[in-house]
Amino acid sequence: MSHENIKNKQVLLFILATGVFGILNTEMGFIGILPYIAETYQVTVVQAGWLISLFALGVAVAGPTMPLLLSRFDRKHLMVFILGLFTLCNVIAVFAESFWVLLAVRVLPAFFHPVYCSMAFTVAAALAKPGEEPKAVAKINAGVAAGMVAGVPISNFLAEQFSLAASMAFFALATLVVLLLTIWLVPSMPVQTAMSYGSQLAVLRKPMLWVSIMAVIFLNGSIFGVFNYLTEYLGVVAGVAPSLISILLFAYGICNILGSMLAGHLLTVRPLPVVKIFPLVVAVIYIALLGGGSAWPLMGLIVVIWGILGGINANINQYWMANAAPEAPDFANGLFLTAANMGCVLGTTVSGHFIDVWGTQYVVLGGLLFCLLAALTVWGQCYCKQVHTSLMVQSEH
């Protein structure tokens, strides 16, 4: 896909990153308002949690399918449609009087979430100069991180200070602004050479693609398997005051954005060493926590480093999948989103088991297990690639 006719690539990158921010803001923001939803609609918190779990399930199911099915359409038309759908559903949510209506307009756009995000990664990489694709993709991942950071505290604040409807209106406004910018500033972006569905699905025959999927599952599990219990860990194990926990979580999110930008540079300069050493560095953090690193203020330093690693992780995952199937970028990015969600679910489940058996302090054992699996997978994959390359060179001579 050629974008030579696009005069201001930085403007397009900004719009794509802001669009991803709006969509992730909608996805994650509901975490901050579940108690208010339960109270307003007279449902249990567990039932309100369906708004989170069914959205994630929709993303996981649509990840490898929807980007593939819609890969032939004009990029701008897809952007306008998806942002318009998110905006419309968020507006309906503002006035929804039934929980089931709210659930329906919550789940519907989830199936188009991976289409926009995978397309944003693909377009960003296509806009970059050869060899600098990770830097462009890092800007999109910064939008992802920002959406994850801002959504929860802002939605919680609006629901607490004003109303639940105010939170829903904020979600609608975030996507509406990007929708208008897209209509106004983004040129038509037809796919120059449409790949057949069969040729894209053919990448599933590559053993290395499946190994890459496993690597992304393990890498994401190593981060989110522990992070999803961070609030409980800070309170129960580290003894951090509730007010300070909010500050630390916000600091983690900011460091996530910084890590994403740092990863863009690292993956451009020395990609393989970064990917190979990453699970080992994360493991060191978890070993430090096991060794008494939960004491304040060392805990604060660990959260900062952990946040930076979380930002780097998202970029590594996308980079690894994109390089496993460069001939089908949209499909590969869709698979990346599905694998990342599977890693989050699997990591959270396994780490939760360690909590049930031994207590909150040992949640990091789940993270260490996934670090080990990620390291074995990545190092094994790199070794196989080296052997394959050397054999190819020998056959040529």
From first to last of the 397 residues of the chain, give the pLDDT tens digit: 444 444 578 888 888 888 998 998 888 788 778 778 888 999 887 788 788 778 878 888 888 888 878 878 888 899 899 999 999 999 999 999 999 999 999 999 999 998 898 888 888 888 888 877 888 888 888 888 888 777 777 887 888 889 889 999 999 999 999 999 999 988 888 776 666 667 778 888 888 899 999 999 999 999 988 887 887 788 888 888 877 877 887 888 889 889 988 988 898 888 899 999 999 999 999 999 888 777 777 888 998 999 999 999 988 998 898 888 888 877 887 888 889 888 888 888 888 889 888 988 899 999 999 999 999 999 998 887 766 565 555 555 5
> Do 213 and 117 share a structural domain?
no
List, in sequence order, the alpha helices (H) in the chain. 9-29, 34-41, 45-48, 50-62, 66-69, 75-95, 99-107, 113-127, 133-161, 164-185, 197-201, 207-227, 230-236, 242-269, 271-288, 298-324, 329-358, 363-396
> Do 205 and 181 share a structural domain?
no
CA 271 to chain centre: 19
> Do 169 and 129 share a structural domain?
yes
The domain boundary residue, chosen from 135, 162, 187: 187
Buried/exposed 213-244: b ≥16 CB within 10 Å, e otherwise: bbbbbbbbbbbbbbbbbbeebbebbbebeeee
Distance CA 227, CA 208 (A): 28
Instruction: Please check whether residue 192 lies inside any domain of the structure.
Output: no
> Do 346 and 217 share a structural domain?
yes
Q: What is the pLDDT of residue 232?
A: 78
Distance CA 381, CA 386 (A): 9
Residue labelled with tokens 């863009």 = 264
> Do 225 and 276 share a structural domain?
yes
> Do 269 and 224 share a structural domain?
yes
Please count the other Cβ atoms lying within 10 Å of the Cβ belonging to residue 391: 10
Q: What is the pLDDT of residue 370?
A: 97
Instruction: Please check whether residue 154 lies inside any domain of the structure.
Output: yes
Q: What is the pLDDT of residue 217?
A: 94
> Do 382 and 264 share a structural domain?
yes
- Tally of structural domains, the chain: 2
> Do 156 and 220 share a structural domain?
no
The helix/strand/coil state of 297 is coil
Range of the domain at 127: 9-187
Polymer length in residues for the chain? 397
Q: What is the pLDDT of residue 200?
A: 75
Q: Which of 278, 230, 233, 235 is nearest to 251 (CA)?
A: 230
Instruction: Please check whether residue 2 lies inside any domain of the structure.
Output: no
> Do 136 and 220 share a structural domain?
no
Q: Which of 164, 6, 175, 7 is nearest to 85 (CA)?
A: 175
C-alpha radius of gyration, the chain, whole number: 21
Instruction: Please check whether residue 193 lies inside any domain of the structure.
Output: no
Distance CA 159, CA 263 (A): 35
Instruction: Please check whether residue 41 lies inside any domain of the structure.
Output: yes
Q: What is the pLDDT of residue 5?
A: 46
> Do 254 and 170 share a structural domain?
no
> Do 303 and 246 share a structural domain?
yes
* DSSP state letter for 221: H
The domain boundary residue, chosen from 136, 163, 187: 187
The domain boundary residue, chosen from 187, 213, 234: 187
Instruction: Please check whether residue 362 lies inside any domain of the structure.
Output: yes
CATH at residue 183: 1.20.1250.20
Instruction: Please check whether residue 4 lies inside any domain of the structure.
Output: no
Written as one letter, the residue type at 136 is: A
Q: What is the pLDDT of residue 12?
A: 87
Written as one letter, the residue type at 270 is: R
> Do 214 and 172 share a structural domain?
no
Instruction: Please check whether residue 338 lies inside any domain of the structure.
Output: yes
Q: Helix 133-161 crosses helix 113-127 at what angle (to 10 degrees)?
A: 140
Q: Which of 313, 333, 307, 322 is nearest to 252 (CA)?
A: 307
